[in-house]
A and B are shown apart, each in its own frame.
Chain A
Amino acid sequence: MISVHQPILQIVLPLMAAPICVILRNAFAGWLLALLVTGGAFVASLILLVHVVNEGPVSYAIGGWPPPWGIEYRVDGLSAFVLVTVAAIGFLSMIFARRSVEAEVAADRGYLFYTMYLLCFTGLMGIPVTGDAFNLFVFLEISSLSSYVLISLGTDRRALTAAFRYLIMGTLGATFYVLGIGLLYMVTGTLNIADLAARVPEMTHIRTVQMALAFLTVGLGLKLALFPLHLWLPNAYAFAPTVVTVFLAATATKVAVYALIRIAYTMFGGPTMFAVMPIDEVLVGFGLLSMIVGALAAVWQTNVKRLLAFSSISQIGYMVLGLGLADVTGLAGAVVHIFNHAMIKAILFMAVGCIIFRIGSADLRDIRGFAKPMPITAACVVVGGLSLVGAPLTLGFITKWLLLQGALDRNWWWVAVVIVAASLLALVYVWRLIAAAYLHPPSERVAAVREAPAPMLLALVALTVATVVIAIDGSLIGDFAVVTAKQLLGSGE
């Protein structure tokens, strides 16, 4: 039983909460509002996912105008899945947020912080549900603008330069996206994604369509920080306030991956288009490069936040690789990794947030031995880290298994070799984290701290337990991803 209006309300209520937050002018009220709204959106998106899985896609005509004249919200399995991911992280980040924001953001800016957070949440939630290519751009802009501001609020002054760099790169990406949509509109006369999907795959020979895909891919490549368009990411994640890093690292790039899947497969018909224009092979190439370069850079970092940021670039590489493999298992690997990586990175960045909150540093040398005073945080780091490497019985293993299968199905054994190599590199940098936690005696400063405050731990432990539970019966999520991948590929035939 779901309300007809549910798809729109879970976007519009967070949107309306943002201006209300400005009027309230109180950090605590803002936090409470954000907590309630994101919590509501999380429950709503879960209900929607169950509904969509059981009864098929939901369509909602905004303004009562039938598509393609009006804007349509269209929720299928993939969009509901991404929606749940964003909402879950958004909600848990808010549980985590209050103390951390108090410590890192000036008190008189608190309410504006939550306003921006709600806007960013709205933007990222709006992208998976929309069935309209231009509407997607509008929500991409809402989420991007607010993330620039959120990043700039970091305590380190370098946050400003990081945010500015992201602003330039992000704006370029948005411009490329809108150019691509413009080119498509020129030859199809429509902006509705389903309508485009019915027309574009028959137009693959038209140069305008080919260039449209090129512009869309580069634009989203900037947003999802694919090598070599990743340069904005490490500093943005390293210097942003912790809560922002948790939320953005877990969701923003993943939503961009979703958009790229939606465009390449639903809109352009996937393999049909790739036969004319081998974007898939280009994506495989850059995905592999991302995996290796990101992991290599992560190995040399001493700041844990930067280490994890570079690891994100590497992990995004896995998703893009799966997208480029363009077969059922590869694509399923990409879909499942959207969720997996969101969970894993949220765990690890939350754990770092706890460490920074207590120890005041994220430098590997300063936090040595933190497992002793903060055993729960350290345990979560271990679970998250193992999952990042892809150890058996963890979430990460499901991804790697699907991707390996996908690569072998296409007889690209060298791709499989690179996957294994990147995982070994991941083992190296995760080991550095675990070694810092357990293998060193704590310094006086570290030994004197206590475990993180209860709400922060609650969010962290809830996520960790969730990943473990989901990983125990990995077939549930794995099967879902395979079904979704089949649907995506089916629409291209």
Chain B
Amino acid sequence: MINISLLMIMVATALGLVWLRNLLAVVMFSGIFSLTAASLWVVLGAVDVAFTEASVGAGIATVLGLASLALTRTEHEKRTRVFHLPALIVVLVTGAALIYGTLDMPGWGDPDAPIHTHVAPRYIEDSLAETGVPNIVTSVLASYRGFDTLGETTVIFTAGVGVLVLLGRGRRYPVANPRVAAGGGPGRAPAAPGSEGAAVPGDSGEMRFKAILRVGGKLLIPPILLFAFYTQAHGELGPGGGFQAGVIFASAFILYALLFGVPMARAVAPASVLRGTLALGVLIYAGVGIAGVLLGGNYLDYSVLAHDPVHGQELGIILIELGVGITVASAMMTVFFVFAGQDPQQVD
């Protein structure tokens, strides 16, 4: 029953997303969509996924959406053709294919379904003994399929560096036509230095007189940071881990930037440091793998890291989760600062 009502909310939100033309509302609705999805994952028992969806989908993605709206200084989508028949047909065909594909799927919750009988039993029965980690999701993510997680961390790293490349200042260097340089194309971030900042959320000017927000926010930041560390360390035992912890950690900085201005937050986390940590996390993760090779195991085999294989597994998982946390936090902060500041520090 809860499932169905949550699903209905998601459908309604999705339809709303399609109809709305106000981009601020679109960002809000997609936040709601993610939050509802997160609730659905909780009900389905996938708490780790729910945690990630809530912190990434509903949390940081919404903040980044708002930041980019502030940059483009428009709240309305450019009206193009409202009705696009080929697009509708493609969407309908895809949807129909998906539904057709699920006709033969195993029944919901069927204990004999292949996903429960083939690979999963070993994870469920032996992961505690093999890795010493009670949270099965963490042991699969960090050890059994740890190489995928290294890849995902690299994706986050790529995204962070990509934003640096694209939105850092002075990216087009020989500009032949000064009119083009000054005007900026439609949908492009303003290129002229000094013109940005005023409309950015978190510019100190906006928030200067909001004492309640500032004091309240100040009070919130330490618990958020503490919660981030808890999530980082607790990933072995319950839902949590580097991805979520990194996002939560970054959100404390983003909150600080919103309340006290990007330059103040920048003083705490300078561009050069963030760039370093962005790279460091990936290096820690990949380096743990190399350590495994040097100690005589396969790549990312943590068992050889300590005298006892299970201790080695635990140590390896803690280390790589740390790498994930560092890179994710740095990437999120980099993306936000670059969006919010169009920061001159980025390229010096």
A residues touching B (Cβ–Cβ < 8 Å)? Answer: 5, 8-9, 12, 15-16, 18-20, 22-23, 25, 60-65, 68-71, 106-109, 112-113, 115-116, 119, 122, 126, 132, 134-135, 138-139, 141-142, 145-146, 148-149, 152-153, 155, 157, 160, 179, 183, 185-191, 206-212, 214-215
Q: Is A62 within 8 A of B300, CB to CB?
A: yes
Q: In the bound complex, do residue A157 and residue B104 qualify as a contact, i.e. CB atoms below 8 Å apart? A: no
Give the residue of B97, B280, B286 whose beta carbon is less than 8 angstroms from that of A211.
B97
Chain B residues, Cβ within 8 Å of A61: 298
| B39 beta carbon closer than 8 Å to chain A | no
Cβ contacts under 8 Å, A190 to chain B: 114, 118-119
Binds A, one of B10-18, B27-35, B60-68, B158-166: B158-166
Extra A-B contacts (19), CB below 8 Å, given A25-B275, A187-B104, A212-B101: A8-B298, A19-B278, A19-B283, A22-B275, A22-B276, A22-B279, A23-B280, A64-B301, A68-B118, A69-B119, A108-B168, A109-B171, A145-B162, A157-B172, A190-B119, A207-B100, A211-B98, A214-B97, A215-B97
Q: Is B229 close to A, CB under 8 A? A: no
Cβ of B76 within 8 Å of any chain A Cβ, yes or no, is no
Measured CB to CB, the nearest residue on chain A to B163 is A149
A189 touches B347 (CB 8 A): no
Interchain Cβ contacts within 8 Å, total number: 193
Q: Known: A22-B279, A107-B173, A211-B100. Is A186-B106 also a contact (CB below 8 A)?
A: yes
Minimum CB distance partner of A186 in chain B: B105
- The answer to the question of B303 belonging to the interface, with a C-beta cut-off of 8 Å to chain A, is yes
B-side interface mostly: helix
The 14 listed contacts between A and B (C-beta, < 8 Å) are A5-B299, A15-B154, A18-B157, A18-B282, A22-B161, A64-B292, A68-B118, A71-B147, A122-B154, A142-B151, A145-B159, A189-B117, A189-B119, A214-B101
Residue of B nearest to A179 (CB): B98
Q: Is B21 an interface residue (CB 8 A)?
A: no
A-contacting residues, B102-155, CB 8 Å: 102-106, 113-120, 122-123, 143-148, 150-152, 154-155
Given contacts A16-B286, A189-B114, contact A71 B145 (CB under 8 A): yes
Per a CB cutoff under 8 Å, which of A12, A25, A149 touches B286?
A: A12
Would A186 and B283 be within 8 Å (CB), given that A19-B157, A63-B146 are in contact? no
State whether A141 and B155 are in contact (beta carbons under 8 Å apart), knowing that A5-B298, A23-B276, A107-B173 are contacts in the complex: yes
A189-B120 in contact (CB<8A) = yes
Check if A109 sits within 8 Å of B119, measured CB to CB.
no
Instruction: Tell me, yes or no, whether B242 is within 8 Å of chain A by CB.
Output: no
Given contacts A22-B278, A109-B165, A115-B161, contact A60 B290 (CB under 8 A): no
* Partner among A5, A23, A157 whose Cβ is within 8 Å of the Cβ of B279: A23
A12 to B144, CA, bound (A): 18
Residues from chain B with a CB closer than 8 A to the CB of A71 are 145, 147-148
Q: Across the interface, which residues of B come within 8 angstroms of A191, CB to CB?
A: 119
Q: Inside 8 A of A148's CB, which chain B residues have their CB?
A: 162
**Is A112 touching B158 in the complex (CB atoms < 8 A)?**
no
CB of B51 closer than 8 Å to a CB of A: no
Judging by beta carbons under 8 Å apart, are B299 and A8 in contact? yes
Size category of the binding interface on chain B: 35 or more
Tell yes or no: B293 within 8 A of A by CB: yes
B68 to chain A, nearest CB (A): 14
Residues of B within 8 A of A (CB): 97-98, 100-106, 113-120, 122-123, 143-148, 150-152, 154-155, 157-159, 161-162, 164-166, 168, 170-174, 180, 185, 188, 275-276, 278-280, 282-283, 286-287, 289-290, 292-293, 297-303, 347
Q: What is the distance, in angstroms, from B312's C-beta to the closest C-beta of chain A? A: 10
Contacts of B101 in A (CB 8 A): 183, 207-208, 210-212, 214-215
Q: Is the CB of A63 within 8 A of B155?
A: no
- Interface residue from B154, B164, B172, B173 paired with A119 (Cβ < 8 Å): B154
Considering the chains assembled together, what is the distance between the CA atoms of A215 and B98 in angstroms? 9
| Contact assessment for B300 and A145 in the assembled complex, using a CB-CB cutoff below 8 Å | no
4 closest A-B pairs by CB: A211-B101, A19-B279, A189-B118, A138-B151
How long is the Cα–Cα vector from A113 to B173 in the complex, in angstroms? 15
* Complex Cα–Cα for A173 and B99 (A): 19
A62-B300, A187-B105, A188-B118 known; A142 vs B155 contact (CB < 8 Å): yes
Please, how many angstroms separate the alpha-carbon atoms of A208 and B97 in the complex?
10
